[in-house]
Amino acid sequence: MSRNHFSELSPCEALIMKLIWEAPQDMAVQELIDKLREDHEKEYARTTVVTFVGKLKDKRFVDTIRKGKTALIHPLRSRDEYRIEVLQEEADFWYNGDVFEMISSLIESQDLTEDQVKKLKKALTAKNK
């Protein structure tokens, strides 16, 4: 039950991947730098961002594609695939693999609206079919 799985992202890598996943198409490094500054008030130098993209390439999260002088960042893994992996690792570590206990803890720690409770019931009903 190691928490240092090879594909675990650092907070900065996770932020960069979030922006890449949210982009409607492959993203240029400069676009990424601009989004980090505009949306998250991160003033990273180009070399810093390129270094993080290189680390993400090493972890097989992204690849870069050259279009003329521009390098476009292309995601290799989906956001949903990564979310599921992270949630499973958290369940394995904190709840000894018991996903039910993890979900119960999350639900008990939240103030849910009636609509959210209905959606949860609907999801559970659909899962049991």
For 63-121, give the DSSP string.
EEEEETTEEEEEESS-HHHHHHHHHHHHHHHHHTT-HHHHHHHHHHTS---HHHHHHHH
Question: How large a percentage of the chain has pLDDT more than 90?
Answer: 87
CA distance 45 to 27: 17
The pLDDT of residue 3: 53
The pLDDT of residue 92: 93
pLDDT at 13 over 60: yes
CA distance 16 to 80: 16
Average pLDDT on 6-22 reads 90
- Cα angle 122, 124, 129; round to 5: 95
Q: For all residues of the chain together, what is the average pLDDT?
A: 92
Which domains can be identified in the chain, with CATH numbers? Answer: 11-75 (1.10.10.10), 79-128 (no CATH)
Q: Residue 1: pLDDT band by 50, 70, 90 thresholds?
A: very low
pLDDT at 2 over 70: no
User: What confidence tens digit (pLDDT) does each residue in 17-40 have?
Assistant: 999 999 999 999 999 999 999 999
